[in-house]
Structure 1
Amino acid sequence: MSQTLRVATFNVSMEASNYVMQGKQVNGEKLFLNLATGMHPQIKNIAAIIQQVRPDIILLNEFDYTFSDDLGVKAFIKNYLNVAQHGAKLIDYPYFYVAPVNTGVDSGLDLDKDGIASGKGGDAFGFGFYPGQYGMVVLSRYPIDKNNSRTFQNFLWADMPNNLLAGIKDEQGVSWYSDEAQSVLRLSSKSHWDVPIEVDGKILHILASHPTPPVFDGPENRNGKRNHDEIRFWRDYISGEQQAAYIYDDAGKTGGLAGQHFALLGDLNASEVEGDGINSGIGSLLAHKLVNADFVPTSQGGLMQSPENPHAASHTADWRMRADYVLPSCNLSILDGGVFWPTPDDPQFYLVKNRKASSDHRMVWLDIVLETRN
């Protein structure tokens, strides 16, 4: 027997600074206050997009993580997804996965070299002004094996063989990061997750992440090099065996995958043909023998936004790049896929007309076939 699954990723821009006036202090509670009402128009539109596409499994990037009891996720499901939005049918996700991320977590060091160890922003382990900003959540219609889920929040960048950390230097050729900083700096700007989901007796590993944008730095290219290595982590992880032997998770378990079915999801902030990143990172992942990257999701909306750009149809962000990916393992076949990006003459265009409508990213989805035991 086989089971068709719709798997998606969506950077929803649901972090607190989107919901308060500029200059006001923000924290994750600001997002929760809007989730509790069920009335915020931007969040209603995000829910409407999810209800229109109706994925079975979806990763949400930039969903603040603050509440250890999962109140924020539960409020989003109950007050927005479980309510029909703009004529769409309500949708339910009985299972979800959330965990802490590195954004806004104080490193105690002056990582951005502005002379002040501020404990937030550029001095956090991942850029953010409070712990949990730009977090992640996996929503699923199928049971999640939380006991066997793996997180890599605390994996040290320096522990990756042949990493690009040591080569980050300022304009005088001096290492950007001190020896102390290199000994504590974590690889993940948010986190890397391996979340097993059970579908009719078969396990699908959801590999979730949100690497740092390869910009907002200087000639030292510290963010570009981190983005490269955050993506390279997955290349090593799915390779398994010796290539993944150096990897350890937050529980101390070592190694990577070994031939399992997986779907790698997230806003990877990288393109092999556009943008400011080191394109060999994403390029080597797309070319990996264990990744099925033959199907490139597209949209007419992206094409119409930049008709002169040969890559426009595959763009997933309104700043004109393919940044968001659903990459299944090569042992999974792909039936269909797309990018939710209505054209300006489409009645649903209001859902994506600008960032305030929903997000500056578009949902990406694939229909994949998973062989099951039934």
Structure 2
Amino acid sequence: MLHAFNKGGDAQITAVVDAITRTKPDVIALQGLDYDLSGATLAALGAALAQAGHDLPYVFAARPNSGWRTGLDHDGDGYADGPRDAQGFGWYSGQGGMAVLSRYPLGEVQDFSDYLWKDLPGALLPHVDGAPFPSKQVQEVQRLSSVGHWLVPVLIGDTVVNVLTFHSGPPVFDGPEDRNGKRNHDEIRFWQLLLDGALPFQAPAAPFVIAGDANLDPDRSDGLRAAIRDMLADPRLQDPRPSSAQAGLNTVDWPNGPGQLRVDYVLPSADLRILDAGVDWPAQPEAGSRHRLVWVDIALP
């Protein structure tokens, strides 16, 4: 089994543990989990899971781009010390990071999070009146990843399953330059370019699974929806269309905003056999996250 679960916030650990133990994943990609240098947050979560009877002893986390200050004005408001003036939105370094937990050993992780947005082939860099937005200086150092892009090998017997996990920034909260919308588009497109061999990294071998938060619904999001539509239609991937009886294909509920949308994905490579898939959407709302756990059961080739 391979599951992806997006967790927004880090205070309601009981609800998060309940969701994980209810679905019993073998591998889980988490988003929205604060990163700290000593690994205390991830260790506390692992201990709580083990105490609840679902031990995931192999873990990986790295410093996210969220909250990583550069000393520059990244949002064009004339100031350089706000949460939007970081490589990814964040009030402090490590806010809303990512982690992978597994029953199986992990191989050497490739962390693409320092890849510069300007270096992406066909990058949709924002401009205003023909000038780089917010400045050429910022675009020279701006990383593509709002939080991170990782390739995490999971060693299952003699098979290596490469988990490609990420957390795109939301395509809103910007101005007419559409900086966030364009960045979200390119964060999603990164994976297809990696598979194409168009980036300065080795393309991942199958089997692999893309698992994470794209922050984009293919039909209803206020963003450049072609990015997620192209990914879902890629013949190298399968979309098992996980769903729940309560909310269909939706994976998140923003009750005071756009409502229910599908923004979290688990997309196995075409060589994997899908046994089942779903979205864990409890009848009663939980405090763990606005996002729900998305899961896919797979059989190795």
Assess if the C-alpha contact under 8 Å between 2:132 and 2:139 holds in 1: no
| TM-aligned CA deviation for residue 218 of structure 1 | 1.5
Whole-Å Cα distance in 1 between the matches of residues 155 and 261 of structure 2?
33
Q: Distance in 1 between matches of 2:155 and 2:51?
A: 26
> Does the 8 Å contact 1:231/1:282 carry over to 2?
yes
Matched, 1:94 2:25: no
Offset of 1:268 from its aligned partner?
0.8
State the alpha-carbon separation in 2 of the partners of residues 280 and 81 from structure 1: 38
The residue aligned with 1:316 is 251
Post-superposition Cα deviations, 1:241-277, rounded to whole Å, max 9, x if no partner, equal: xxx2x33xxxxxx3322x4210111111012111111
Answer whether contact 1:239 1:256 (CA < 8 A) is retained.
yes
Deviations 1:163-195 (A, max 9, x none): 101xx133x554323111111110001110000
Conservation of the 8 A alpha-carbon contact between 1:268 and 1:325:
yes
CA distance in 1, matches of 2:41, 2:291: 21
Counterpart check, 1:263 vs 2:209: yes
Question: Partners in 1 of 2:203 and 2:137 — Cα distance?
Answer: 28
User: Hey, what's the Cα distance between the residues in 2 that align with 1:161 and 1:367?
Assistant: 34
Aligned twin of 2:93:
131
Measured in 2, the distance between the counterparts of 1:14 and 1:263 equals 25
User: Secondary structure at the residue paired with 2:99?
Assistant: strand
Q: Residues of 2 paired with 1:125 and 1:77: CA distance? A: 28
3-state SS in 1 of match to 2:194: helix
Superposed CA deviations along residues 330-372 of structure 1, whole A, max 9, x for unmatched, are: 01010101000133xxxxx2xxx15xx221000000001113x
Return the alpha-carbon distance in structure 1 between the equivalents of residues 153 and 210 of structure 2: 12
Out of 31, 49, 52, which is 1:81 matched to? 49
Aligned residue pair count: 296
The DSSP-based 3-state class of the residue aligned with 1:358 is coil
The equivalent position to 1:301 in structure 2, one of 246, 249, 253, is 246
Pairing 1:231–2:201 present: no
The gaps in structure 1 that reach 5 residues or longer are: 1-5, 20-41, 85-89, 248-253, 303-312, 344-348
Deviation by residue 1:178-219 (Cα, 9 ceiling, x = unmatched) = 111111110001110000011011000010100001011122
Matched, 1:369 2:299: yes
Aligned to 1:154: 114
SS at match of 1:206: strand
1:46 aligns with 2:16: yes
Q: Does 1:66 align with 2:33?
A: no
Question: SS at 1:82's partner residue?
Answer: helix
**How much identity, in percent, do the aligned residues show?**
42
Counterpart of 1:103 in 2: which secondary structure?
coil
CA distance in structure 2 between the partners assigned to 1:173 and 1:97 by the alignment: 42
Report the CA distance between 1:62 and its aligned residue: 0.3
Name the TM-score, length of structure 2 as normaliser.
Answer: 0.95
**SS of residue in 2 equivalent to 1:300:** coil
Name the structure 2 match of 1:121.
83
In the other structure, the counterpart of 1:143 is 105
Query: What are structure 2's unaligned runs of at least 5 residues?
Result: 255-259
* SS of corresponding position for 1:326: strand
In the TM superposition, what is the alpha-carbon distance from 1:12 to its structure 2 partner?
1.3
Q: 1:107 aligns with which of 60, 70, 75?
A: 70
Q: Could you tell me the TM-score, scaled by structure 1's length?
A: 0.77
Question: Which residue in 2 is equivalent to 1:339?
Answer: 279
Greater share of helix: 1
Q: Decide which of 146, 169, 180 is 2:127's aligned counterpart.
A: 169
Look up the SS of the partner of 1:107 in the other structure. coil
Could you say which residue in structure 1 is the equivalent of 2:227?
Answer: 281
- Please tell me the residue identity of whatever aligns with 2:41: G
Counterpart residue identity of residue 280, structure 1: A
Rounded Cα–Cα distance in structure 1 between residues aligned with 2:292 and 2:132: 37
Partner of 2:289: 359
In 2, Cα distance between the equivalents of 1:256 and 1:181?
29
Q: Alpha-carbon deviations, 1:121-167, whole Å to 9, x = none?
A: 1100101011111100000000001xx310011100111111101xx
Instruction: Give the AA of the match of 1:93.
Output: L
- Larger CA Rg, structure 1 vs 2: 1
CA distance in 1, matches of 2:15, 2:138: 41
- Amino acid in structure 1 at the alignment position of 2:19: I
2:165 corresponds, among 208, 211, 228, to 208
Does structure 2 conserve the Cα–Cα contact (< 8 Å) formed by 1:300 and 1:342? no
Letter in 1 for 2:59: F
Deviation digits for residues 50-81 of structure 1 (CA, Å, limit 9, x no counterpart): 000001000110000112x3222111111x21
Contact 1:232 1:285 (8 Å CA) reproduced: yes
Q: RMSD value over aligned CA atoms?
A: 1.3
SS at match of 2:31: strand
Higher strand residue share:
2
